[in-house]
Structure 1
């Protein structure tokens, strides 16, 4: 008897026999199906040319598909149930894997995102104190104020690069909230140069064609990244010294690292502090900036007039003539739905990766201990089995009415939980999820209160780099 799978939204259930995605079961011990790559380089060049298109092409082989690239074996997982199996039910069988650790080694930075085992647990327990609900609430006013400062610096009719502007905004908000610091222009510029250098370096050395070239060949991207990293390390050392030299006691991330202790009583080493701050400087602003950029972009599309008008009415009704506050968040339902839909279509991190500790099976296929399991977030988020009109911008899919007839944000009961997982899942879900959603909603509401955008850049071509980079996104600002 074939398994019945629900497909979500208004689509009919399908059976395995009816599915066009290939086999969903196989005899244990059988390797997953997949493409035959080119001699020597396998599928490296195909992946490097267009990672998103390449992963989409793997669907023809089924929800579990194999390919070889960068000298290793990958297995692409494109089924929500299997994602949940790997990240939750069988979490202990998998780790981040050598592929991501090679990325860590390439950038010469470690920290919470790359730590494993007891080291990861200790770091997580210390750092999560900066992300409690009470701490998130205390950050809200700074997030709103920084958005207002950004908008005040724009002129009516000015053309801006929204991607660069959102990056500057989220960096300033991050440093005020998590580091309790005001970054002057010089310090902020050093961070931005480092982020750009990291993106160029990782893109060329890890995902680009240099991945198949001899490592001894000179690389301008690497030299620029190393210079920028030395600059950031010096900056972080100064920040830690300043915090340790002050009498102030704080619960912000910088204070926790500079003065806190792990659960076993030990203190973070200087190297650990530097690595953690570097990673949070990067991930803490880059991913939210990406999500905000795509939300602004989507709201300026020809098919988004209705949603944009509804968003404006909601913000006007909730906030009136004042700026949004933390207490407004439960009522900003359309705002949240638009943020969620932006991250569905363009998740800041389009795929996650895991590796089994030892040989195992997934959906009946053999998975070797050195195989990188690639959880295809971008593909699952746009899969027609779980989403009607999967490529369309439809924030309504996130809205429902409660028993009192009020609009609320809700996940449909007939959709698998892991059909949407922009913050990962299981024990290693993003520690900054509440922080990011709070900033996304408050900043978006603040922008809607103050300005309208008009597209100047007509199309975007998202590319996985440090995050899912849309490239330059120029828009014209119209003050409201």
Structure 2
């Protein structure tokens, strides 16, 4: 690697007029090839040279921010100086341009205020039984000794949960096939975009994945429009998100347009389906490779739940299950990067950042930084238990944003409580009924829509109940 004006970002001699140290890369393409080969390793290697470091890829400048205090600055204390940025908003343009995830300014505030009321504890409690029911239905299909691709199974499971909670549709309903086809087509399309398929075609020629996605999205729009009409005409009450959006009103008396309703649902489908399936897959694989932790978890679940399935009011007592999930997302954050872009020239860590630069906040690096985490690359759920921190066995003085799987600040993940409820209840319902043994020996995560682990095969052992 060739670095220009290389210096440690922590040095007090940095002048606010200086640009961050940077990787020269190759002529024209910069570090694009290095990033594509292994984005996680590439960005992590950059962190060895400082907490604010720049590189060029995909024709734009990225500035990697690896200091938790600066992450907090960008996401929380000075969040009004930054927006999602051109790089991250590309996905919004593809998927759901009218949704809350990529909205800015007053549009974002209006949508966020409306949607926040749909994710209250009371609303999520109404979805909890469906989460457990879907888990039981999945595990009932697993027999003792069977080898399953848990990535595939859990993807179907989380999609089932979302289809019921968002649309009040069972996956076996033929209309749910429209949702399944859209999610599959989106994954193919985003993967193709990440691999640069678009760059080898004229701008006016749609790629095969793009055509497939457009057809699937048109079918989903038609389904949503039909369901919105049904719900607005119905006199009955329903707690699914579509029903709530269909009958919602903004303060000015207007209602969300069909396009906006569709885009909100698509964004929750993509974010909720991918992140939860990914987090659960890594969690199950890590437990399969740590039999003692899996036994400890099973004992906790038996103590709390006895001979019944877990309920939402058990969550406060399932402290080890929460710790296991937190640790899995520390090691393998479902979204490994968050991107922001300054509205105008600013400074971070004593360095000047121009408005055209894309800030890259690497969860996958910060979560593994041994400055904040002892035995950073080891699976140690006990580090999250209150008694462990009180005993001083772990780094209790680490900055808050040494761990941020759901982002932070005003734009933190709106579905965070929904996701943690789903992850904790489904894990407890699984481990109460079965245990995992490893088959897939190692993982090679790749950055696609989420931090995709690839196929993960585990052997199922049923528990005597």
Calculate the TM-score normalised by the size of structure 1: 0.90
In 1, distance between residues paired with 2:56 and 2:438? 40
User: 1:176-195 to 2 correspondence within 5 Å?
Assistant: 176-184=164-172, 186-195=174-183
Instruction: Look up the SS of the partner of 2:344 in the other structure.
Output: coil
Residue 50 of structure 2 is matched in structure 1 by 62
Instruction: Look up the SS of the partner of 1:289 in the other structure.
Output: helix
**Structure 1 stretch 168-177 or stretch 462-471: which is displaced more?**
168-177
Q: Which of 83, 86, 89 is matched with 1:101 structurally?
A: 89
User: 1:312-331 to 2 correspondence within 5 Å?
Assistant: 312-331=298-317
Residue 197 of structure 2 is matched in structure 1 by 210
Residues 195 and 166 of structure 1: CA distance in aligned 2, closer, same or farther (over 3 Å): same
**Structure 1 stretch 376-385 or stretch 248-257: which is displaced more?**
248-257
Displacement, 1:240? 1.7
Residue 442 of structure 1 is matched in structure 2 by 425
Are 1:345 and 2:331 counterparts?
yes
Instruction: Look up the SS of the partner of 1:201 in the other structure.
Output: helix
CA RMSD, Structure 1 to Structure 2 (Å): 2.2
In 2, distance between residues paired with 1:186 and 1:424? 36
| Paired residues of 2:95 and 2:266 also in contact (CA < 8 A) | no
Q: Which of 306, 319, 322 is matched with 1:336 structurally?
A: 322
Residue 149 of structure 1 is matched in structure 2 by 137
Instruction: Look up the SS of the partner of 2:48 in the other structure.
Output: helix
In 2, distance between residues paired with 1:148 and 1:360? 51
Q: Deviation digits for residues 240-279 of structure 1, max 9, x if unmatched?
A: 2222232123443212211111123221111111111111
Corresponding pairs, count: 454
In 1, distance between residues paired with 2:251 and 2:54? 41
Residue 358 of structure 1 is matched in structure 2 by 344
Residue 29 of structure 1 is matched in structure 2 by 17
| Paired residues of 2:9 and 2:52 also in contact (CA < 8 A) | no
Displacement, 1:194? 2.2
In 2, distance between residues paired with 1:305 and 1:423? 28
Displacement, 1:418? 0.2
| Paired residues of 1:70 and 1:211 also in contact (CA < 8 A) | no
Q: Which of 252, 276, 279 is matched with 1:288 structurally?
A: 276
Are 1:427 and 2:410 counterparts?
yes
Displacement, 1:74? 0.8
Residues 250 and 186 of structure 1: CA distance in aligned 2, closer, same or farther (over 3 Å): closer
Residues 213 and 65 of structure 1: CA distance in aligned 2, closer, same or farther (over 3 Å): farther
| Paired residues of 2:170 and 2:176 also in contact (CA < 8 A) | no
Residue 377 of structure 1 is matched in structure 2 by 363
Q: Deviation digits for residues 266-309 of structure 1, max 9, x if unmatched?
A: 211111111111111221222111111110010011xx122111
Residue 253 of structure 1 is matched in structure 2 by 241
Q: Deviation digits for residues 323-342 of structure 1, max 9, x if unmatched?
A: 11111111100100000001
Instruction: Look up the SS of the partner of 2:93 in the other structure.
Output: helix
Residues 255 and 187 of structure 1: CA distance in aligned 2, closer, same or farther (over 3 Å): same
Any stretches of 5+ residues in structure 2 without a counterpart? 1-6
In 2, distance between residues paired with 1:109 and 1:74? 23
In 1, distance between residues paired with 2:222 and 2:420? 31
**Structure 1 stretch 105-114 or stretch 127-136: which is displaced more?**
105-114
Are 1:395 and 2:378 counterparts?
no
Residue 3 of structure 2 is matched in structure 1 by none
| Paired residues of 1:140 and 1:439 also in contact (CA < 8 A) | yes
In 2, distance between residues paired with 1:305 and 1:281? 33
Any stretches of 5+ residues in structure 1 without a counterpart? 1-19
Calculate the TM-score normalised by the size of structure 2: 0.92
In 2, distance between residues paired with 1:329 and 1:77? 34
Residues 187 and 476 of structure 1: CA distance in aligned 2, closer, same or farther (over 3 Å): farther
| Paired residues of 1:463 and 1:469 also in contact (CA < 8 A) | yes
Residue 367 of structure 1 is matched in structure 2 by 353
Q: Deviation digits for residues 369-390 of structure 1, max 9, x if unmatched?
A: 1111011111000000000111
In 2, distance between residues paired with 1:94 and 1:40? 27
User: 1:66-77 to 2 correspondence within 5 Å?
Assistant: 66-77=54-65
In 2, distance between residues paired with 1:243 and 1:184? 20
